[in-house]
Amino acid sequence: MSTAAAMFLAGASGVLAMPMNGTFTMHYDKQSPQPIAPDHIKIDASGSGMNKSPGQPLDNAKVTITETATLIRGQGPLKGTITFTTPDGTTSSPYTGKVMTDAQGRMTAVGKFKVAKATGAFAGLKGSGSFTTAFSSQTDQVTEWKGNFKPPAAMASSR
């Protein structure tokens, strides 16, 4: 187990929630646009990247997402699942949000996530948070995320 993961799990005993945050860059490996009507499109996409959270358990985690955005004139809802994978385990969280496009054509997204499944050292992890995404191209983006997380009581008390 990594030092950061061990410190997170050991230090969480008795703590209601511990803040964590990070930034990841991601490249969309697959995008499937499906026109619905004029100025109305559904996009199924998946991608991967690397998370940076110095000194935290998810630092250098591989990030993968699958998502669907339904856009009318560049605006609309977003939903998907994000998975962080480390040598110590994984966390998977569904998320929802909103995609926005400004007058200059720059796309951003904001939303919320909640941990639904965790394995390995993260098994039983609970938590939720928010994210902000800025697209640097049609296939690349940078996301900043933050949230509060609590490991399972059994893990925290066994440390």
User: What was the pLDDT predicted at 17?
Assistant: 74
Low-confidence ranges of the chain (pLDDT < 70): 1-16, 152-159
Q: How do the domains of the chain map onto residue ranges?
A: 3-157
- Beta strand ranges found along 1-88 (DSSP E): 18-37, 40-52, 62-72, 76-86
pLDDT value of position 100: 97
Q: φ, ψ for residue 3 (rounded to 5)? A: -60, -45
Closest CA to 81 of 92, 97, 70: 92
Q: What is the per-residue pLDDT for 16?
A: 64
Say if CB 65 and CB 38 are below 8 A apart: no
> pTM (2 decimals)?
0.86
Beta bridge partners of 52: 23
- CATH tag, 3-157: 2.40.350.10
How far from chain centre, in Å, is Cα 29? 16
The predicted-structure confidence for 59-89, as pLDDT tens digits, reads as follows: 999 999 999 999 999 999 999 999 999 999 9
